[in-house]
Amino acid sequence: MPVKITPEYLAQSGTEHGHQAALMCWCTDHVGTYSELDLLFAIPNGGLRNRATAARLRAEGVKRGVSDLFLPVARGGYHGLFIEMKKPGAKASEAQVEFGMKVEKQGYKFTVADSWDLAAQIILRYLKNNA
């Protein structure tokens, strides 16, 4: 019997990747109710890379600390929502917190979520203008 791909299934690994994939699965499941979820996208700034690839990406503008996800939807006086995803129990790095402080000064909402379901709750609050 095939396994149904659900956010819970994707998050079972307990990894940041698993939780971020679970969140994106949840968004796909709820885009009919919240059409703005279709605008949520990943910013591929992290991950291990060889030297040549890392140098090429830095030249293209990849920067330390930039959040994993961005929702370009204005709500509650904010221009959009940046989300730093973490695996359960993990904390944001100093560079990630610094990035968050900088974008908040520019009128964006920044948050850290250490699970897909927490990120989903944050997004719903944001979209309902209860940021």
pLDDT-derived band at 118, boundaries 50, 70, 90: very high
How many Å apart are CA 112 and CA 68, to the nearest integer? 10
- The pLDDT of residue 53 is 82
pLDDT above 70 (res 44): yes
pLDDT above 70 (res 109): yes
* Residue whose C-alpha is closest to residue 77's, from 112, 46, 118, 108: 108
Can you give the pTM of this predicted structure?
A: 0.91
Domain boundaries, the chain: 7-127
Q: List strand residue ranges (DSSP E) for 1-128, in order.
A: 41-42, 69-71, 81-85, 109-113
CATH of 7-127, one of 3.40.1350.10, 3.20.20.70, 3.30.465.10, 3.40.640.10: 3.40.1350.10
Residue 73 and residue 88 in contact, taking contact as beta carbons nearer than 8 Å: no
Q: Tell me the per-residue pLDDT of 58-95, one tens digit each, with 9 for 90 and over.
A: 888 888 899 999 999 999 999 999 999 999 999 999 99
CA 65 to chain centre: 12
The DSSP call for residue 115 is: S
pLDDT above 90 (res 3): no
